[in-house]
Structure 1
Amino acid sequence: MRGMRTRPGIVVVGCAAVAWLGLASTPDAQWLTLRTPGIPRLSDGTPDLKAPAPKTSDGTPDFSGIWKTPTGRYLANLAADGVEVSMQPWAGKVYRERQENFGRDRPSAACLPHSVTDFDAHITPRKIVQTKDLLVMLFEGYHTFRQIPTDGRAFPRELEPAWFGYSVGKWERDTLVVETVGVNEKTWLDDAGHPHSDALRIHERFRRTDFGHMTVQITIDDPKAYLKPWTVSFGWELMPDTELLDWVCENNRYFDIIPK
């Protein structure tokens, strides 16, 4: 259970430092005593997060639930684990400029949407709602959502660039494989300022390893911005017995605290 929850604040990304500010502590006034049905429990009633991963009635892995990224490490820098990221000259220049000005122009500082990778790594919870042909992620942060069709459709012939692009998914045994294209160039891959071009293709692999844990693997394939694809991996944790809270980006204080 959440108990007392701190709303995520602001990430300040410098050349060598990352600072998190909690803007407010919010008690769980919304569904405080909620007990999520269908969750395996230990003898004391606590959720058994190491129980086997569930499946739907047709045998497909069931990703339903509320999930969190337990650390802001990969939101601050998607390549935080030291993966080699070889940039094209223009991309390297943009990245250095964003580092030097502490990410003043990052879209989320103006309450604009995060990118696909940003939201994968974001510490605010996301609820997965899964049907036979569609998986939807409802993000608590910024009150937004992402749709991933799993009905076998192809990408549209003409892509109008969008904040989350266009995603299609398919199941490979117990792993959901997602490809995304058509992401507009206003988005950043992370708060560190890794850029991308209109050629970006994001490959994601989601696997629920047990009831309470999900592995997330992201491959960035963008030959206009990077000399070769690069891959990162991290985990999500299930948040049982709770619900999403009301989280609206309004009058973001980011510009009040970063260096001028």
Structure 2
Amino acid sequence: MYYISHILTILGFIFCIRVDSQLLHNTRVVGGAPTTIDKYPILAQLLLDTWGNQTYEQHCAGVILTSRHVISTAHCFQNNEQSSKDYTQPRYWKIRVGSTYRSRGGIIHSIKTIIPHHAFDKYFYTNDIAVLVVSKSFVFGSNIRQGTVIRHGVEVKPNSICTLLGWGSKQVDGPRLEQLQHASLYVIDQKVCASRYGTIKAVIADTMMCAGELNVAGVDACFGDSGGPLIYKGLVVGLVSFGYSCGHHYYPGVYTKISRYTDWIVRTVSNNK
């Protein structure tokens, strides 16, 4: 998953959001263990050319939907003040599929189109989802496969055990690791999550879901994980969106709730070949 070290002032409070920016520290899922892409072949890496010099590095993650489409989070694709680059433009991105490792292997594809949700809010991270269209079709095999998203309107119950995937940091400003990580965590009750984030004036909308382990510091997504999947019983139910720090005991990770966007995903894929 992917988080950025981006500090936003929200209603007078300082809220540390894990989203994608350009100067990020990418390592692994907090509390995770090494795994391999053949176990999770639906996963894609989003590689960013931060400075426009054709040097692409893993920055976000995503899920393969069809032979031409990937879903990720909209916050990955923003204008960036530090680099003065517009990361909404496909030329700054490539997609690597079929590799266990952050910086080698697999097959790299160019991106044709980036379609963020039209109602994405960069301050509160509502509607944090995007569809990407690749220039050349993926060739499916043991390490590259289509993911299956949860049906529209279906809710995953609190305390359900999900799997988190990514190449993100083990801790804030932690060392970089190469291998894909996975970890198990619990779905957190929506009202409990909203109440906790309400203490820092952050919004937990109905289109979001939370996962982690309350009152225990540990398993979470971190820098480099944004856009990656939260999986329940083989279905993609969430995408890494934001959170307070990484592995915080009080604030669980926040994910885009896929079941609220299934219809939007289908329409967007159908209209963007």
Q: TM-score range, shorter-chain basis?
A: under 0.3
Structure number, greater radius of gyration: 1
More strand by share: 2
